[in-house]
Amino acid sequence: MEKIGEKIKRIRKENEWSQTAILPRQQSLVSQIEKGTIKNPGKEILEKIAENLEMNFEELIAQTDWDRNKEQKIDDAQYGFSRYNLSVELRKTGQIVTKMKAFPRYNEAGDVNKYDPETGHELITNCTYDDCGRNIEKSSQQYCMSCGEELMEVLDFAGVESSGMSIDTLKALNKNKFLRFHPRIDEFDFWYNRQSNDNELKKISKLKEELQKYMEEYASLAEDEYGGEPNAGDINNGGELNIRLGNCIWTETQEGYEIDLWPDQHSWGSIYISGTEYFKGTKSSHPHVKKWWSEHQKALLILEEVRRHLLEYRAQIESTPDYAENDKDGPDIAGLLKDIEDEPF
Ligand SMILES: [Zn+2]
């Protein structure tokens, strides 16, 4: 019995067809099937291939190891992206570059990598804006190549009922992300000047502390309807806790905090988010909860990473013998003078 990939390759070679010819624009997918990286491709893909090999599906799978019970749902995505996980780079120009972390779509055995191993969030493989659906093809890709939308920004609206918030409103709101806690480099000699590096480190560390405090404060605002602190019992019982989050207008009432208006609502009314929902963090199905945690966790991650990069530059500065020359405090003049004085003529 022939392997399905081998059969495809054999027939293709016999006819001197290219991989692109049997699946236009999906050359890499053909390659993966032929190599056996994808062992049991789905029927739909095989039907397309069969057509281009000028045969029908049944003829193609005849006398091969293809098993219709093990059909792999495949697409031609090369990478899965984590929307809640970033790689952060601090360039010598002071530019902070953030990108969604990318993971290969398949491992060597052809198994699909579905979740981010670092955060447990589902990886996305295509643009989720409206019904675009275009696959993500490069690990450095930040925008959809079909519709130009930013891939990281669009959150999944499945399961959201009450908010009625449009995706455009959410995207507009997301544009303000990190406004308060987004790090910025002010002293551009941070990578060779010890003093500037120190200043930047202090600034970033302070920002990180502030953000952590802010996040803790917000967590403590997950109060029950009598204004008390949330407790494990309330949360476990799914008790309705009134939460206030960023981007919403709220009032403090005798009963606690009441959210009066979500940004997309045009009439006054109250919407409560349960504490249970709030503490689901980025795994919540509520867009506000998800967005709030996503933004703040990402901001925290960026600050941590920028701090780590600054420390790396600092280690480089310290391992360079003449780094003191770049030190704003200047060389130790008194020490030098003393050395000269002590020197016998
Ligand atoms: Zn798109």
Residues 202, 290 share a domain: yes
Q: 142 alpha carbon to ligand 1 midpoint, in Å?
A: 11
Q: 169 alpha carbon to ligand 1 midpoint, in Å?
A: 18
Q: 282 alpha carbon to ligand 1 midpoint, in Å?
A: 22
Residues 149, 270 share a domain: no
Residue 9 predicted with pLDDT over 80: yes
pLDDT band at 1 (very low <50, low <70, confident <90, very high): confident
Strands (DSSP E) contained in the chain are: 79-90, 96-104, 223-224, 241-242, 249-253, 256-261
Biggest CA-to-CA distance, the chain: 100
Q: Mean pLDDT over residues 150-165, rounded?
A: 44
Residues 199, 240 share a domain: yes
Residue 255 predicted with pLDDT over 80: no
Contacts 24+ apart (CB under 8 A), 107-116: 108/37, 110/32, 110/36, 110/37, 110/38, 110/39, 110/72, 112/72, 112/73, 112/74, 113/80, 114/80, 116/80, 116/82, 116/84, 116/85
Residues 241, 114 share a domain: no
Distance CA 113, CA 99 (A): 19
* For the chain, percent of residues with pLDDT exceeding 90: 19
Q: 235 alpha carbon to ligand 1 midpoint, in Å?
A: 38
Final residue of a domain: which of 98, 129, 154? Answer: 154
Q: 12 alpha carbon to ligand 1 midpoint, in Å?
A: 33
Q: Is 95 left (phi over 0), alpha (psi -120 to 50) or beta?
A: beta
Q: 154 alpha carbon to ligand 1 midpoint, in Å?
A: 10
Final residue of a domain: which of 93, 126, 154? Answer: 154
Final residue of a domain: which of 127, 154, 181? Answer: 154
Residues 36, 48 share a domain: yes
Segments forming the whole domain that contains residue 284? 156-345
Residues 295, 239 share a domain: yes
| Alpha-carbon distance values, 291 to 86, 124, 244 (Å) | 15, 17, 13
CATH number of the domain within which 12 lies: 1.10.260.40
Q: 173 alpha carbon to ligand 1 midpoint, in Å?
A: 19
pLDDT score recorded for residue 113: 86
Residues 45, 194 share a domain: no
Average confidence score pLDDT of the chain = 71
**pTM for the full predicted model:** 0.55
Residues 171, 149 share a domain: no
The total domain count for the chain is 3
| pLDDT tens-digit readout, 62-116 | 999 998 887 765 556 778 888 778 888 898 888 888 778 888 887 776 677 889 8
Q: 138 alpha carbon to ligand 1 midpoint, in Å?
A: 14
pLDDT score recorded for residue 8: 95
Q: 259 alpha carbon to ligand 1 midpoint, in Å?
A: 34
The two structure tokens encoding residue 199: 């200043």
Report yes or no: 96 and 89 within 8 Å, Cβ to Cβ.
yes
